[in-house]
């Protein structure tokens, strides 16, 4: 499998090269050269397959022969060692829980898969050059990447996060591990963090001194494994016999783009709904057909506080920038913090189910779509455990949450971060100045 840049001004890359580079030399995102649908028999017999078998069949074509099959199966077994249950909430509405991994967020799968791939690639390298993973986080990415890469030989991780704009638990998950993980606390927004990361990848002087890669969902090894979730959910709900739609809380749009890739592989699903908070760049595009990125606005669903989502270009490319085709498969709606809290309370009162702010936005998007599509079976993604947003959840639903073991182990640890304000601060740190 070869990957090409969406800017189409760079040489094609192998899977290994795309993972290590993160982003193409022309600053474009990498995209697979071909997408071969899985046979119909795969989906007809999916209920008889283990999650590991489903994942191997889905990802194999994108990895090719660059990782031996037995090693790829081992990587998947290490990555997918927790459950992905679909829980019915109400009639025709269910949630796919993606928070049963080590950092209790959906990004555990992509971060661990990428870390394992980089670890494999570095095993046979004779060069002593260290790879530096540079990543910006609006919340859960940082913790998942830190946990996934902790102790991986030959890899140093530098995480940028906006000061005061992630939850306390999210901050602890990315600032308390030590070893090969460093957290940089940025005086600014997530967009500022992401801009610094993108600037670093454009800095020829910096790139001559070190090997940089990204662990944001722009990296194919972070992005593509997310398609597993949708296949696992389809396996669990196929027998209900109705058309399935997915509602995905969306920030950088990597997760929903992976879902659309699962659809392209042949998964029988009718529609995707991208649900956002007030950062409504994509909902506005779907309304006006004009893409106008804007500065991000802080919300209680902070992982979606993104004003210029990186992966939306992949979604548009998947549909060859044909708006009519995109509109048939994809809708997008935005919701306020107040609407999010009201949904959290309503779900808890009606179903005794506790959602986090992101899952609640997904629920709202699903219900909005179902207003005109009554008979569709909807699955919204619960992308993080509610305890990661402890204060807002407890205040909203009036219930004390039990702290899971994954969270308890970071609560008493000392936070260590390095404050920075400018790109020059970041560059100086990376160069050891």
Give the Cβ contact number of residue 392 at 10 Å: 19
Q: What is the pLDDT of residue 433?
A: 65
CA dihedral 319, 320, 323, 328 (to 10 degrees): -20
Q: Are 286 and 312 in contact (CB under 8 A)?
A: no
**DSSP H or E stretch at residue 332:** strand 330-334
Could you give the strand order of the β-sheet that contains 13-14, starting from the edge strand earlier in sequence? 13-14, 2-5, 30-32
pLDDT on residue 370: 96
Q: What is the pLDDT of residue 29?
A: 94
Q: Domains plus CATH for the chain?
A: 83-105+223-401 (3.40.50.1100)
**Nearest C-alpha neighbor of 95 from the set 381, 367, 361, 393:** 381
pLDDT at 157: 93
Beta pairing partners, 332: 274
How far is residue 386 from each of residues 10, 276, 320, 379, measured CA to CA in Å?
Answer: 42, 17, 37, 18
Residues in the chain, pLDDT under 50: none
**Three-state SS across 210-231?**
CEEEECCCCCHHHHHHHHHHHH
> Which residues, listed in sequence order, are joined to residue 62 by a DSSP beta bridge?
none
What's the confidence (pLDDT) of residue 384? 93
Give pLDDT, residue 170: 86
Residues 6+ apart with CB under 8 A from 352: none
C-alpha dihedral (150, 259, 7, 331), degrees to nearest 10: -130
Residue 316: count of CB within 10 angstroms of its CB: 18
Report d(CA 354, CA 345) in Å as an integer: 8
CB atoms within 10 A of CB 328: 12
């Amino acid at each position: 499998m070869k990957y090409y840049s969406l800017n189409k001004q760079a040489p094609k890359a192998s899977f290994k090269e795309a993972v290590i580079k993160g982003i193409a030399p022309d600053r474009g995102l990498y995209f697979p050269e071909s997408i071969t649908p899985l046979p119909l028999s795969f989906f007809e017999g999916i209920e008889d397959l283990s999650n590991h078998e489903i994942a191997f069949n889905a990802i194999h074509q994108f990895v090719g022969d660059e990782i031996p099959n037995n090693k790829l199966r081992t990587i998947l077994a290490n990555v997918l060692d927790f459950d992905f249950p679909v829980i019915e909430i109400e009639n025709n509405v269910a949630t796919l829980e993606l928070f049963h991994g080590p950092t209790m967020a959906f990004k555990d799968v992509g971060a661990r898969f990428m870390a394992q791939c980089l670890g494999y690639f570095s095993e046979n390298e004779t060069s002593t050059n260290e790879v530096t993973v540079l990543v910006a986080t609006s919340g859960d990415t940082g913790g998942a990447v830190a946990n996934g890469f902790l102790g991986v030989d030959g890899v140093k991780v530098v995480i940028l996060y906006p000061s005061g704009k992630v939850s306390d638990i999210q901050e602890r998950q990315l600032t308390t591990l030590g070893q090969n993980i460093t957290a940089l606390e940025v005086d600014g927004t997530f967009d500022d963090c992401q801009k610094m990361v993108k600037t670093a990848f454009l800095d020829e002087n910096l790139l001559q001194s070190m090997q940089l890669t990204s662990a944001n969902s722009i990296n194919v090894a972070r992005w593509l494994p997310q398609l597993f979730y949708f296949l696992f959910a389809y396996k669990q709900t196929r027998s209900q016999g109705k058309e399935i739609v997915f509602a995905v809380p969306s920030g950088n749009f990597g997760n929903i783009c992976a879902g659309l890739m699962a659809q392209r592989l042949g998964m029988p699903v009718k529609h995707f709904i991208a649900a956002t908070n007030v950062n409504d760049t994509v909902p506005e595009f779907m309304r006006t057909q004009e893409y106008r990125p804007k500065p991000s606005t802080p919300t209680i669903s902070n992982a979606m506080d993104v004003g210029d989502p990186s992966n939306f270009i992949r979604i548009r490319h998947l549909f060859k920038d044909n708006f009519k085709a995109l509109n048939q498969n994809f809708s997008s709606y935005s919701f306020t913090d107040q609407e999010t809290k009201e949904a959290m309370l309503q779900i808890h009162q009606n179903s005794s189910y506790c959602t986090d702010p992101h899952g609640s936005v997904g629920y709202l998007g699903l219900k909005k779509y179902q207003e005109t599509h009554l008979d569709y079976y909807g699955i919204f993604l619960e992308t993080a455990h509610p305890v990661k947003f402890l204060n807002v959840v407890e205040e909203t639903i009036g219930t004390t949450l039990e702290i899971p073991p994954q969270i308890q182990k970071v609560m008493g640890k000392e936070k260590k971060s390095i404050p920075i304000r400018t790109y020059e601060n970041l560059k100086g740190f990376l160069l050891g100045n």
